[in-house]
């Protein structure tokens, strides 16, 4: 079956080499790259992994830095990778929403072929996902270009982990209320926002939103996917692996345990992503 991976990270070589220097001024980069689960991966390594596991294309992001200059360097890398691997790597650009230059960089990235923005990271980049003022400009640009934005979110319950952060379903819902016309993906199951789509008003409120499965093996039992389809949110769930920290094999095991129908698997593994990218 055709597979689109909606959430992977790739990193230019210099990031690994200059890790300590950059980490000294980017506290969340310090935290995440010191974590025992951290793995580095280049564009070439991503495509090799995709070939091996039968992934057709991947929405690839880098690291969402607080520093807008570093964001621009990340975008140069991912946009170049997309040119080198056309149709395989679909680039996502990072911007630091509250820093000068973010809006211009979003435009530059879209002009150069970025498929969307993301994975933006409230805690790491010091912006508030629920604040309309801070995100108005970049959401306006996404609308102008008909592009989507991917935000990191995490369930505000359960175990702590490096990079979990303090933004979850409540803030994601506030974003949808502030920007009902902005197409948005909330990573890591939207920090649980999908469950609230069983409330009629929340179904309506989240009509612009999708959720991805990134880090599923570390977070939820297989049956979360059955629950998502059971409450009618199956058209909102995108397969995303969070490669290189997790690979397709772990997800295949989980998917096999769900007993999802062929149609449901198609929606999860490519159909919903194709609609997002259309
Ligand atoms: Zn994330």
**Whole-number pLDDT of residue 85:** 98
**What is the average pLDDT across 54-70?**
97
Q: Give me ligand 1 centre to Cα 61, in Å.
A: 10
Q: pLDDT band for position 86 (50/70/90)?
A: very high
Q: Name the average pLDDT for the chain.
A: 97
CA of 60 from ligand 1 middle (Å) equals 12
Token pair, residue 200, equals 């009629």
64: CA distance to ligand 1 center in Å?
Answer: 10
pLDDT, residue 162, reads 83
- Segment 202-230, tens digit of pLDDT: 999 999 999 999 999 999 999 999 999 99
> How much distance in Å is there from the Cα of 6 to the middle of ligand 1?
12
In the reported structure, the alpha carbon of residue 187 is separated from the centroid of ligand 1 by a whole-number distance in angstroms of 6
What gap in Å lies between CA 132 and CA 165, rounded to an integer?
19
Q: Give the Å distance between the CA of 55 and the centre of ligand 1.
A: 20
Strand order in the sheet with 184-186: 4-9, 57-61, 89-93, 116-120, 148-151, 184-186, 209-212, 237-238
Length of the chain: 278
Percent above pLDDT 70 for the chain:
100
Expressed in angstroms and rounded, the spacing between residue 256 Cα and the centre of ligand 1 is: 24
- 161-176 pLDDT per residue, tens: 888 999 999 999 999 9
Structure tokens at 218: 């570390």
CA of 166 relative to ligand 1 center, distance in Å: 12
Ligand 1: centre distance to CA 80 (Å): 23
Residue-level pLDDT at 28: 93
Q: Rounded to the nearest 5 degrees, what angle is found at the Cα of 26, between the Cα atoms of 111 and 175?
A: 55
Q: What are phi and psi of 185, to 5 degrees?
A: -120, 130
SS3 sequence of the chain: CCCEEEEEECCCHHHHHCHHHHHCCCHHHHHHHHCCCCCCCCHHHHHHHHHHHCCCEEEEECCCCCCHHHHHHHHHHHHHHHHHCCCCEEEEECCCCCCCCHHHHHHHHHHCCCCEEEEECHHHHCCCCCCHHHHHHHHHHHHHHCCEEEECCCCCCCCCCCCCCCCCHHHHHHHHHHCCCCCEEEHHHHCCHHHHCCCHHHHHHCCCEEEECCCHHHHCCCCHHHHHHHCCCCCCEECCCCECCCCHHHHHHHHHHHCCCHHHHHHHHHHHHHHHHC
C-alpha 86/C-alpha 252 separation (Å) is 26
Q: Do 188 and 237 meet the contact criterion of CB atoms below 8 Å apart? A: no
Dist. CA 85 → ligand 1 center (Å)? 24
Contact 162, 32 (CB under 8 A): yes
Centre of ligand 1 from the C-alpha of residue 260, in Å: 25
CA of 114 to the centre of ligand 1 (A): 19
Q: Give me the domains of the chain, ranges plus CATH numbers.
A: 4-277 (3.20.20.140)
Distance (Å) from CA 184 to ligand 1 centroid = 14
Ligand 1 centroid – CA 242 distance (Å)? 8
pLDDT tops 90 at residue 193 = yes
* CA dist., res. 13 & res. 32, Å (int): 17
């Amino acid at each position: 079956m055709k597979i689109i991976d909606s959430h992977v990270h790739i990193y230019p070589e210099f990031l690994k080499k200059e890790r300590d220097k950059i980490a000294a001024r980017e506290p969340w980069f310090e935290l995440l790259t010191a974590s025992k689960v951290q793995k580095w991966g280049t564009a070439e390594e991503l495509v090799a992994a995709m070939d091996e596991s039968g992934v057709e294309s991947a929405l690839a992001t880098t690291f969402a830095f607080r520093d807008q200059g570093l964001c621009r360097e990340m975008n140069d890398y991912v946009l170049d990778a997309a040119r080198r691997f056309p149709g395989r790597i679909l680039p996502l650009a990072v911007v630091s929403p509250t820093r000068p230059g973010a809006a211009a960089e979003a435009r530059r990235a879209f002009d150069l072929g970025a498929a969307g923005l993301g994975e933006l990271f409230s805690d790491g980049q010091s912006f508030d996902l629920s604040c309309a003022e801070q995100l108005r400009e970049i959401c306006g640009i996404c609308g102008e270009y008909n592009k989507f934005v991917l935000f990191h979110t995490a369930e505000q319950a359960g175990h702590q982990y490096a990079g979990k952060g303090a933004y979850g379903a409540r803030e994601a819902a506030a974003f949808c209320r502030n920007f009902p016309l902005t197409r948005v993906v909330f990573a890591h199951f939207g920090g649980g926002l999908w469950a609230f789509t069983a409330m009629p008003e929340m179904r309506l409120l989240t009509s612009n939103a999708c959720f991805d499965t990134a880090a599923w093996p570390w977070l939820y039992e297989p049956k979360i996917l059955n629950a998502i389809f059971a409450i009618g949110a199956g058209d909102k769930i995108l397969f995303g692996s969070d490669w290189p920290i997790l690979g397709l094999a772990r997800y295949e095991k989980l998917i096999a345990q769900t007993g999802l129908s062929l149609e449901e698997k198609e929606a999860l593994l490519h159909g919903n992503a194709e609609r997002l990218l259309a």
